[in-house]
Each structure stands twice: as C-alpha cells, then as structure tokens.
Structure 1
Amino acid sequence: MRPAKAELMRPTRQFTRFLAVGTLGFIVDAGTLLLLVSAGGDPYVMRLVSFAVAVSVTWWCNRNWTFRSASRLAWQAEYLRYFGVQTAGAAVNYAFYAGVLTVIGLTALNLVLALAVGSFVALVVNFSGARALVFKPRPA
C-alpha cells in the first residue's frame, strides 16, 4: 500500500479500535456503576467512581493497542493527560446521563440507557482529544 493511502486509513483503523476499547470501557463502567448502586451507593456519585475505573481500563487498552505506534510521554504524564481529555468528554457524557435520567426516571435499565446516551455523545470529544493531545503521531 502506498504511504499516502496508508496514512489516510490510519485514523479509520484507530477510530475502529477506539470504538472497540470504548465498548469494553462501557461494559466496565456500566458493571461498576450497577454494582455500586446495588450496594446502596448514590447513582450520581457512583457514576464518578465508575468513570474513573473505566478511564483507567481504556487508557491501558488505547495505549497498548489503539495508539501503540504513537509517540509517548512517560506513562504517568500520559495517563494524567488522557484522564484530563476523558474528563472533558465525561463532562459532556455526565450532562446527558443526568438529563436522560431526569426525563425517563431512575431504574437499573434506565441507568444503562442514560450511560449509553452520554457515552455516544462524548465519543467524538474523547477520540479527537486522545488522538491530538495524548497519542500524537510520531514525527516522520
């Protein structure tokens, strides 16, 4: 494959992998959220905890699979930058999560539905930020 064409396909491959990792992150997020809420935790506060767990899992997977060929900072700095970018996406995610719960009510199924809506809306923010600010392509 010619280099120019390979470069054009790279973001598509990364986005596909980012979606796969995001799916895993969603499962971790939703599972953690449901576990904590079923143990008596407040659904709004526990959402913050489940987010932190999911971000840690997705950072590791994105670092080692989605963006593994990208230049890297020290892992600690990279993790903090990734967490910051994902927090911006999470602000969008959380606003939609809370809004959906306010509209449709609080049940276990609605928790997951609200989480899915928030995750979908924040996807573009998260991918763009991860690609541009955390896992920058290596210079040629």
Structure 2
Amino acid sequence: MPLRVELLRFVLAGVLGLAVDVGVLYGALALGLDWFSGRAISFICAVWTTWQFNRRYTFAPSKKLSVWQEWWRYLSAMLLGGAVNYVIYSVVVIALPDIPLLPFISVAAGSLSAMAVNFISAKYLVFRRSS
C-alpha cells in the first residue's frame, strides 16, 4: 500500500481515536475523576480503538503474532507517543482556564503532537512487513 494511503488511513484512525478519547474523558470527568486519571483511562480506550482500525484498514494484522501479542506490542509502541501526548495535554490543562471545550482542546493538542511518533511506531514496530 502506498505511504500516503497508509498516512491517510492512520489519520482517519486518529480522528476516530480522538473522538473516543474525548468522549471517555468527558464521561470520566462527569463521574468525578480528575483530569489526569480520567485521561489515563480515555487514552487506553483510544489506543484500543485505533489499534482495531489500523490493523483492519491501515497496515493489516500481523501474521506472526497472536491478536493479544499484537495488542500488547501496539500498546507498548504507542506509549512513547502517549508520553508526548500526555505532556502536551497536561501543559494545556494547566495553562488554560477551565472552559467547556478544555477536554477536547487538550486531547486534540496532545494527539496532534504525538501523531508522527505513533505512525512510525505502528508502521515499523508493530505492523512491519518481513521482506
């Protein structure tokens, strides 16, 4: 598959993941969780969602790994981008006033900042093709 098609599909997976991330975060905040533990939960939900999309439509599942091995490899690979994401998210949450769109703005800023790291990790660490 051409790189630009993979990138486009990865971005679509990211948009889907962003929607899940923001939705779960709003729910967690409504249930009384704080900004940081709520985000940890929403991040895991978003990673699971993007993994499902990416393995079906972007990169194709690994033929050498079981589904659970692939999931754990994907989650592990996303943790580097997740660290970048969480730092930017935290800066935005701390720096901006508490406004109704703050969950969306902070999650989007973090997600955008980590997108390149996550694409490289997914393509070359999780779904790499053996030649």
Identify if the C-alpha distance between structure 1 residues 69 and 84 changes in structure 2 by more than 3 Å, giving closer, same or farther: closer
SS at match of 1:108: coil
Match of 1:22 in 2: 14
Which has more radius of gyration? 1
Provide the rounded CA distance (Å) in 2 between the counterparts of 1:115 and 1:83.
18
Cα deviation digits, residues 76-125 of structure 1 (max 9, x gap): 11110100111111100000000011111233311210111110000000
Cα deviation digits, residues 45-87 of structure 1 (max 9, x gap): 1000001111111111111111117654211111101001111
1:45 paired residue among 37, 52, 58 = 37
1:85 is the counterpart of 2:62? no
1:73 is the counterpart of 2:68? no
Please state how far the C-alpha of 1:137 moved relative to its aligned partner.
2.1
- Kept in 1: contact 2:10–2:58 (CA 8 A): yes
How big is the alpha-carbon RMSD for the aligned residues of Structure 1 and Structure 2?
Answer: 1.5
1:98 is the counterpart of 2:51? no
Match of 2:120 in 1: 128
Provide the rounded CA distance (Å) in 2 between the counterparts of 1:112 and 1:72.
37
Match of 2:105 in 1: 113
Provide the rounded CA distance (Å) in 2 between the counterparts of 1:119 and 1:50.
12
Provide the rounded CA distance (Å) in 1 between the counterparts of 2:61 and 2:104.
33
Structure 2 portions without partners, runs of 5+? none
Q: Using structure 2 for the length normalisation, give the TM-score.
A: 0.93
Provide the rounded CA distance (Å) in 2 between the counterparts of 1:95 and 1:44.
11
Q: Which moved more, 1:20-29 or 1:64-73?
A: 64-73
Identify if the C-alpha distance between structure 1 residues 29 and 36 changes in structure 2 by more than 3 Å, giving closer, same or farther: same
Match of 2:27 in 1: 35
Amino acid at match of 1:33: L
Q: Using structure 1 for the length normalisation, give the TM-score.
A: 0.88
Match of 1:57 in 2: 49
Provide the rounded CA distance (Å) in 1 between the counterparts of 2:97 and 2:129.
43
Provide the rounded CA distance (Å) in 2 between the counterparts of 1:61 and 1:72.
19
